[in-house]
Structure 1
């Protein structure tokens, strides 16, 4: 499945449980380039 999606494009094959219509998309412009390695770039939530 990963190999086919790499060859023909993301989302070519997907699981039926995901549904056909996507209700949301991640906004790439808000993602940090180092989102898994930079603690100082994580957003803070005020209580």
Structure 2
């Protein structure tokens, strides 16, 4: 429990929960902004330049 308390203090209340507490999502992903072919086209992938 001490480890869980430390993690929750560091990263915010509710970061770690016990399994019996259940999971309630407080957020939803905004799917309206995703591309329909986000990884299926090679030209859409970012290119690393050194």
Instruction: Tell me which of the two structures has the higher relative contact order, counting C-alpha pairs closer than 8 angstroms and 6 or more residues apart.
Output: 1
Same fold (TM over 0.5): no
Tell me the TM-score range normalised by the shorter chain. Answer: 0.3 to 0.5
Relative to the length of structure 1, the TM-score reads 0.43
Larger Rg: 2
